[in-house]
Amino acid sequence: MTRRPPRGFTLIEVTVGAAVALIVIGIVTATFLSQQRSMQALDLSREASSAARDAMLSMQETIGRAGYGIDPRYAFDFRTYSCPSWSAAAPCRDNVNGPDEIVFVSRDPNYYWAGTPSSLIAGCDPSAPCIGHAWQVTAFTTTTVTVAANAGDRFLKGQIVQMVCSQGRNPTMGRIAGNQTAGAAGNFQLTLDPIVAGNPYRANIPASADPCFNYAGVTLFLVNRYRYHVATINGDPWLMLDRGLDFNQNGTTPEVVSGGTPDIADEIPIAHGVEDMQIAYLLRPSTTIAAPDNGADWVIGDRPGTIEEPDPTVTAPQQNTPDTDPLRYNLHPANIRGVRIRLTIRSLRQDITQPTPWAGDPAVAAASTSIENRNDFTAVTLGRYRRFFSSVSVTTPNLNSKNPFIF
C-alpha cells in the first residue's frame, strides 16, 4: 500500500507567510500614510500660495494706480474714511498688536475724451465730448452737481466724484448722497453729501470756488476708493476690499462710523486665510535732510512696537514744489513713494499630521519677533494651523505728478 505525501502547510510555513504578509502590509500602509501626509501638507501650502497670489495681485494693481488723476496730497487717506475716532495712540490704519489697513483713491480711468491738442475747450464739452466715466458739468451748487448724463448712468451712494475746471485745474471732490440713476439722456442733477471742513473727499464745489467753474470745460470724474483690511468671516480670516459703495443699494455703505452698523455685505472678499497684514510706507531718501521717521531709515511703520503713520497735518508739498524742497521729505502722505506689504496667510485646515503637542506654526517668521512694527502676537491663537509669509513692495509713481490733467 502506497503512502500519500502530506498535504497543506506546516505551522512554521504558515507563521512565516503571515509574518511576511504583515510586514508587506505594514510597509504599504506606512507608505500610503506618508504619501497622504505629504499630499495634505502640499494641499495646505497650495491653498496658502493661492491666497497670497490673489491678495498680492489685487493690491499690487490697485496700489500702483493710487493717486492717478488725484492731487498727491489726497491719494492716501489716514484720517477720514472709516475713521470715526482717530487718536495718536489709536490711529485708524496702523496697529502694533493687530492687522493694519490701508485706504487710498485714484481716478477711475474708464473714460475717453475726444479732444485734440487744437481743441479750444480742454474738458468734457459738446465740441469735445467724453465717453465713459466722465461727464460735462452744466450747473452746480454747494450740494449738487448737474451733469450731461446718458440714460441709465448710475451713481451709487458713497461714490467719490471729482470736479475739475478746463485742463484739469482746481480739482475738488465730493461724495454721492444716495443711489441715483439717470432715467433719460440729458441734464441730471446729482445730490452730494454736505461739505465737511477738513475732509478733502467732501469738499464739493464751495460757494467761494474759483471762477473757472463758471466757464466751459468743467468735468466730473468718478474716483475709486480702496480700503484693504483683514476681517473674520464665519470664523475664518479674510483679506477684504471695501470700496465705500452701497453695492446692494440698501441705503448703507461699508463705512465704519460713530453711529450705526456698516454693511459688510457690500465688501468684496479678496483672499481666504489672510490672518495679518502689515504696511510700511517708503519715502524718497535725501543726503542732506534728516529722515523724519522714527527709525531714521526713510520707512514709516517699520520700528517694532512704535505706532507710526504718515501725517496729513504737516505742511504738504504742492504739485509744483521742487523736488529739492524740504517739504518733499517730511511725513506728509504726498511724499509716499512706495508701499511695502507683508502678509501672514493661515492654512484653511488644521495640520492633523503633526504630533499632538504641536500647537501650530508661530505667527511670526522664524528667528524674528516682529513683522514691520507689529511685535505683539499674543492675541493670535495658533490652533494647529500652518502659516506662510509673503511680502512685496509697490511703487506709487502717480504721487510724482507735477500737474493736474484730464486725459
DSSP assignment letter at 132: E
How far is Cα 69 from Cα 399, in angstroms, rounded to an integer?
A: 10
Q: 198, 179, 199, 180: which is closest to 189 by C-alpha?
A: 180
Measure the CA–CA gap between 343 and 371, rounded to whole angstroms. Answer: 9
Q: What pLDDT is stored for residue 324 in this prediction?
A: 95
Strand-pairing partners, residue 237, are 232
Q: Which of 129, 152, 110, 141 is nearest to 219 (CA)?
A: 129
- The dihedrals phi and psi of 236, each to the nearest 5 degrees, come to -110, 145
Tens-place pLDDT, residues 41-78:
556 778 888 999 999 999 999 999 999 999 999 999 99
Tell me: the pLDDT tens digits for 290-344?
999 999 999 999 999 999 999 999 999 999 999 999 999 999 999 999 999 999 9
CA distance readout (Å), 182 to 148, 151, 186, 188: 10, 5, 8, 6
Cα 225 to Cα 103: distance, rounded to the nearest angstrom = 7
pLDDT for 404 equals 83
Please determine, for residue 102, whether its predicted confidence score (pLDDT) is greater than 80: yes
pLDDT per residue as tens digits for the range 233-259: 999 999 999 999 999 999 999 999 988
Output the pTM of the full model.
0.90
> Which stretches of 317-384 are assigned E, i.e. beta strand?
336-350
Alpha-carbon distances, residue 124 vs 100, 114, 121, 153 (angstroms): 39, 8, 8, 16
Residue range 338-365, pLDDT digits in tens: 999 999 999 998 888 888 899 999 999 9
How far is residue 27's CA from residue 343's CA, in Å, rounded to a whole number?
41
User: Among all chains, which residue has been given the C-alpha cell 474708464?
Assistant: 110
Tell me: the pLDDT tens digits for 269-285?
Answer: 999 999 999 999 999 99
pLDDT at residue 10 tops 90: no
- Residue 114 contacts residue 128 (beta carbons within 8 Å): yes
Contact 291, 298 (CB under 8 A): yes
pLDDT tens digits, 203-226 = 999 999 999 999 999 999 999 999
Query: Quick one: which of 366, 399, 390, 376 has its CA closest to 281?
Result: 399
